[in-house]
Amino acid sequence: MPRTRRAHQSPPRSRRRARSVIPAGAAPLLWKETAAILGEIYRPGSEARLPSALRFPPCQVSPTEVTMKRVLLLLCASAIFPVALEAQDADAEIERALLAAPGRMGAEAMVLQLRSDGTADVLREGSNGLMCWDNVGRPGFDNPVDSQCTTEENRARLEQNHEFLAAGGSEEELEARFADAEADGTRAESVFGSIYYHVMGDSPEAIRTHTTVAVPGATGESLGLPESGGAGMLWLMEPGMTSAHLMVSGM
């Protein structure tokens, strides 16, 4: 099974992404129609076959005006297509991130995009306090499908994790980065008792679930729970650390 980092074990700049007003799925149609128009405009002897709104009669406009209109049309098309495709990519990432949302909570959850430069953007605002994100492509996450959700109050922890991982380095360097923050008190903590919902797998139809409860700083003694697990047991992992969390075998 591929190794997978978990957000509670291991960010805060937020830039709003301008959302496209072009409906999802419209980009291919826009491209096809505009490409056809451009093809007609640039085909020799094509003026007579174009709609009157797109004809450039030589008796009414100069060659320079015709060229400028064509250039402007091409520039408009160049501006529209990237925005439409970006909107489609964002919608697909939102859909992947929400795979981890419990029940109907995904409908009003915030969705974050964890960027390769170590920053995070809000892809979609939320209203119910749940926050979800897609892990695919991040360092240490090798599954074709991998997403997580937790409370928005854990955002600082998530963004710090992502910043540390995106900085790169060897496994030893990554571990030292987390350990140093743990030792000097700068490690962001999850909210005590907050839940992390995690799904992973080879496809959306074949995913495994993994649910943990964050209990930063807790020990087996303080909670009265074992620090090693077994079948059907509730137990504590990484006791005494900010990453301490409850595990349920089979979940």
Average pLDDT, the chain: 79
- pLDDT for position 199: 95
Q: Is the pLDDT of residue 16 over 50?
A: no
Mean pLDDT for 191-202 is 96
Instruction: Note if the pTM is more than 0.85.
Output: no
Sheet of 206-214: strand order equals 120-124, 110-114, 130-134, 145-151, 195-203, 206-214, 245-248, 234-237
Mean pLDDT for 64-82 is 60
Whole-number Cα distances in Å, 67 to 33, 122, 222: 20, 41, 77
- pLDDT for position 232: 76
- pLDDT for position 87: 59
Q: How confident is the model at residue 249 (pLDDT cuts 50, 70, 90)?
A: low
- pLDDT for position 53: 47
The burial class, CB within 10 Å (0-12 / 13-18 / 19+), for 60 is exposed
Q: How confident is the model at residue 230 (pLDDT cuts 50, 70, 90)?
A: confident
Q: How confident is the model at residue 90 (pLDDT cuts 50, 70, 90)?
A: confident
* Residue 144, C-beta contacts closer than 8 angstroms, at least 6 positions apart: 136, 201, 202, 203
DSSP state of 150: E
Q: Length of the chain in residues, anyone?
A: 251
